[in-house]
Amino acid sequence: MSATWYKLKDETWGVKIRHDGEEGEEVSVTNKKGETKTVWLVKRAAKFDDAQLWSVTSDEPANAKPAAQAPVDFDEEPF
């Protein structure tokens, strides 16, 4: 899932997402220069009608959930 950088009340950088996030979820954050970084959600800081703010870590946690991926299309049965 995608996210944008957001300055949290504690003056640290977190992310703003527009979906229901889960602790340990992997998200990609793109800055204004177009550079993308992978981070993991740590703790929800705020929840609004259309967005959530999360603190993040750049170190993959033990409870990490991989980013959603498109389903694999097999040309033949996988067995």
Residue 48 is predicted with a pLDDT of: 93
pLDDT at residue 57 in the model: 92
Would residue 67 count as lying in a domain?
Answer: no
Is 7 part of a structural domain of the chain?
yes
Segments forming the whole domain that contains residue 39: 2-57
Strand residue runs (E) in 1-79: 2-7, 13-17, 26-30, 36-47, 52-57
pLDDT at 60: 76
Tokens 């993308």 label which residue? 36
Count of structural domains within the chain: 1
Assess if residue 41 is contained within a domain.
yes
User: Is 76 part of any domain?
Assistant: no
pTM of the full predicted structure?
0.74
CATH (domain of 7): 2.40.240
pLDDT digits (tens, 9 = 90+) for 8-63: 999 999 999 999 999 999 999 988 898 999 999 999 999 999 999 999 998 876 66
Q: For residue 64, is it within any domain?
A: no
Distance CA 34, CA 19 (A): 21
- In 3D space, the residue among 40, 48, 46 whose CA is nearest the CA of residue 65 turns out to be 40
| Domain presence at residue 32 | yes
Q: What whole-number distance in Å separates Cα of residue 66 and Cα of residue 68?
A: 6
CB atoms within 10 A of CB 54: 25
